Each structure stands twice: as C-alpha cells, then as structure tokens.
Structure 1
Amino acid sequence: MEEKRYESDLTRKEKRHLEWEKIKGMKWKARIGYIWEYYKPHMAVGLGIILVLCIIGQIIYRSQFETVLSVAVLNSPMGDSEGMAADFKKYLKDTDKFHEITVDSSMIFGGDGQSDYTSTMKLTTLIGAQELDVLVAPEEQFNHYTEMEAFFPMDEILTEEEKEAYGDAVTEYGIRIGNTEKLQEFQMTVGEDAYLAVFINTENVENAKSFIKYIYGGGES
C-alpha cells in the first residue's frame, strides 16, 4: 500500500508542480486572485529589495555631485534663479556635469511678519549648515549679518587692483552692487541698496570672486 504523503513532505520541485496543477485547473479570474494571494509575500520582499536598491543607487548617484557655488538673493521671488545659475556656470566655462551652482531667490524680507519669520528661519538654517557661499541682500539684512561676523573681509577676497576697480562700492565686509544689469537680466530686483557679501565659512572663494565679477557684468572669469 502506497504511503500517504502530505504537502509538507514534498520537495520544492514537487510543491511547485502541485501549485502549477492547481493554477491550471482554475479560471483566469481565480488564477489571478490565487497567484496574488500566494505570491504576495514574495512580491512584497521583491519590491522591498528593488526599493532599497533604487535608494542606494540614488544616494550613490547624488554623491557624485558637488556644489561649487551656492548663492542666496533676497527679495527676488520672481527672479529666474535657475537661469542665473546656468548662465554663471557657462560664464565659468565649467562643463563638468557633476558640478552644481544654486541660486535661491525665494526668501523675502520687509513684507509681512510671517514671510519675514519664515525667510529668517530658512536663511539662518542655511548659514548654520554652511550651505551658502554668497549673499545678495538689501542693506538692512546685510548689516544684520555683518554684525554677526558672518562675512569675509573684502581685503581677503579682493586684490588692491580689484578694490580700486570697484571704487567706493567696496566696504569692509561687502560690496554695494545695487540693481546691476546682470541682476535685472534675471529679474533679481533686490533694490538700489543691494550688497553682495561672501560668507566666512565658504570653501568656494575663487568662484565667489568670479561671481562678483559676473554680477558686475565683467568679461571672462
């Protein structure tokens, strides 16, 4: 007499064959429901693995990028920040696809209390995280961060020849730029009292110097 075998006694190959025989005997709608219920845990594991691999791949891909200059331009919410970033990269003749230049023109001061508070929190966070190299701001905000000793002295940024070229616009910790043609080209309407300053913790001093020349409409970097 043949010994009765239970499903738990079957080999993996025999179990797969048994499952396939069950599926073949079902109608299509039943097959789909059965496959979904039976293989749902396996699918979940597979999707989880794919998701983890995608996240790891994205992290590895993003790690190749380097921000070579990050600029905050205040009071210019309608400005073309992406256009300016792309134009400055072209000005630098930087063709490295992994080099990024960012221009953030979203922060507004001098409006309502809520926008001032939100912008102050964002700007303070970016400065604290050392994620900004250059600030273009109205005189009030420039003076505020000057008092906090946030900027490089211009003596350490510009040569004597460069300071002479910019004349009286150069102050101890910044340079008065007003509404230059380059700012207007990208709808960056900071104001006639606009100043440009370089943060003391920047690691991109040379690009910051090039940005000053660029904003003034200078020639090649």
Structure 2
Amino acid sequence: MTPYEDKTIKDTMREEGRKLKDMNGKDKLWYIWEYYKIPIISVVVAIFLIFSIGSAVYNNRFETALNCVILNSQLTSQTTSPDDYFDKDFRSYINLPEDTKIEVNYSMSLSFDESAMSDFTYAELAKLSAMITSKELDVMIARKDSIDHFGKMEGYMDLKKLLSPQEYEKVKDKLYFVTAQETGEKMAVGIEIDKEDFEKKTGLLVDGPILSVMVNSTHTDTALGLIRYMFGL
C-alpha cells in the first residue's frame, strides 16, 4: 500500500491547499492547469453541452412564422429598435401568438464588387446561400446589387403572382424589376422602401432598401402580411 492510498479526500485537499498557499500566482495557475486540466476541460465541455442541449430544446418549443434578413444595414438609433418594429408591432398586426418566432437578422453584409471581396464577405455569401437553399429564409431587404444578384437567378417570387390585383395596383410605382438570366423574363421581384421612413421606424439605415420574398419561402402568408404591414395595403 502506498502512502497515498490510506489518505482521505479531506487529507488530500489539505495537502493540495498547503502546496498552493506556498506558490505565487503564476505557479498556482501552472500547477492547477498541469494537474487538473482534464477535470477542468471535462467540466467546460459538460457545461457547453448542457447549454447547447438546453438552448436547442428551448428553441424547438417555438414555431418560426417568418425569417427575414436585412443586408448591409447600419443601426443609427439608440432608442428605435428593429426588433420592436419587426417583432413586437408586426406580431400585434397579424395577431401572432407569443410562442411563435419572428427571426430578423440585420447583422449580415454583402458585396459583389470583386475588389471589395474578402474572406468575410465570401463567408457571409456562403451563409446566406445556405439559408436560401435550405428554405430557412422568407424575406430579404437589401440594396439593388443584392436583389439583382439573386433576382437574375430567379431567387424571388414574382410579386404579380403573390399580391392581389388591388394590392399590386397600389404598389406598382414602387416595384423593382429584374430580368432572369435563363428565361429573359422581366419580373417584379421587389418593392422599393422609402429609405428615410424605414430608418425612422426601424433605426436601420440601408442604401435604397428593397423588399423581396424568396421563391422557396415556406411562410408566404406571413411574408405577405409583412408587405401589407410595411406598405399599408
């Protein structure tokens, strides 16, 4: 039997405490990491897993009614919140229950200028493309360059088919058209938003914002509700 085998946990803790007490701060950190790194790493991993599982379980309780991305925006107000406009007020407008999510991402930026492309913009484009392909995106609000990029690939719904004739007539002067590369068809893929009014209501500055509905949206009813809400239809 070794001298350590008949020690109690309490004795071991006392001995470890005496060792640490005689060390300076740097030596303490080295000693703790050298001898206890496996338990420390195990605890950190366990906490991360518990948090991840808990977060996933919590989020899965809520059904998503709309997923919207606002590209190349700048938050200019400390008092006006885009979450209030798109979630709180819009939710009330369509009488959406609280256990249903409206997701609005206004942190993404894209550029299609080759000289301005970077690893970050390539990553953002890949992320957005993945969202579109997996049908996770319903509405895009963006500048003309972004709308043109996806519109040429027929990535948006033709608003003439989505809106009623009366609604189409009301917004026809604000419609934005893009010609599809493959078919050559000119389609109304977006509605131009008043820049100043949008900034006033959301606190977000976007250069020439246009609203478009993704062609593979799984929440077209809510997307249509957002158009009616934003343009007073």
The TM-score normalised by the length of structure 1 is: 0.68
- 1:157 to 1:50, Cα distance in 2 relative to 1, 3 A: same
Write the distance in 1 (CA, Å) between the matches of 2:46 and 2:12.
31
Where structure 2 has 5 or more consecutive residues not aligned to the other structure, the ranges are 1-5, 19-38, 178-187
What one-letter code is carried by the residue in structure 2 that aligns with 1:122? K
RMSD: 3.9
Greater radius of gyration (CA): 1
Partner of 1:77: 74
> In percent, how many aligned pairs have the same letter?
24
- Distance in 1, matches of 2:17 and 2:194, equals 68
Q: 1:96 to 1:155 in 2, by over 3 A?
A: same
Structure 1 residues 30 and 162: CA distance shift in structure 2, 3 A: same
Whether 2:143 is the aligned partner of 1:138: answer yes
Q: For 1:103-118, list aligned pairs within 5 A.
A: 103-110=104-111, 112-114=116-118, 116-118=121-123
2:22 corresponds in structure 1 to none
How does 1:139-154 map onto structure 2 within 5 Å?
139-154=144-159
Q: 1:91 to 1:28 in 2, by over 3 A?
A: same
Aligned to 1:208: 223
Unaligned runs of 5+ residues in structure 1 are 1-20, 34-42
Question: Match for 1:148: what amino acid?
Answer: M
Q: What is the CA-CA distance between 1:54 and the residue it aligns to?
A: 6.4
1:29 to 8, 11, 14: 14
- Asked if 1 retains the 8 angstrom alpha-carbon contact of 2:198 and 2:205, the reply is no
Q: What is the CA–CA distance in structure 2 between the aligned matches of 1:24 and 1:76, rounded to whole Å? A: 58
Q: Aligned pair count?
A: 196
Matches of 1:179 and 1:163, distance apart in 2: 21
Structure holding more strand per residue: 2
What letter corresponds to residue 205 of structure 2 in structure 1? T
For 2:57, the equivalent position in structure 1 comes to: 60
SS in 2 for 1:131: coil
Structure-2 change in CA distance of 1:177 and 1:27 (3 Å): closer
What is the one-letter code of the residue matched to 2:96? D
CA contact (8 A) 1:178 1:191 kept: no
* CA pair 109-101 structure 1, distance change in 2 beyond 3 A: same
Q: TM-score, normalised by structure 2?
A: 0.65
Correspondence 1:90-105 to 2 at 5 A:
90-97=92-99, 99-105=100-106
Q: Aligned residue for 2:35?
A: none
Aligned mates of 2:132, 2:169 — CA distance in 1: 30
